[in-house]
Structure 1
Amino acid sequence: KTDLANAFLQAGSPERAAREAEQAIQLDPHNRFARELLQRIQSPAN
């Protein structure tokens, strides 16, 4: 699931990536990769 989010991020679709990461976190709240991915997406610094 987070690999999918990463793929969307690489494809230049941060909105889709953020949705995928949020879903992954809902499924597994301890998914650190998804949390870090989501933070990276939401960070204005990129």
Structure 2
Amino acid sequence: ARPRNKNKGTGPPRIYTPPDPTKKDKLEDNEVLKIEINDDPFSG
């Protein structure tokens, strides 16, 4: 049972995720990335 109208069947496009979980994940990722870049074990 496929919807005739693709746009109508799919509904609102999920381009962005909820700000709460995404923001937390992004912040944690940024912190980890910053720490890793600061360490730079390969550079030294």
The TM-score by the shorter chain falls in which range? 0.3 to 0.5
Comparing both structures, which one devotes a greater share of its residues to helix?
A: 1
TM-score, structure 2 as length reference: 0.37
TM-score, structure 1 as length reference: 0.36
Structure with the bigger RCO (C-alpha within 8 Å, sep 6+) is 1
Of structures 1 and 2, the larger Rg is shown by: 2
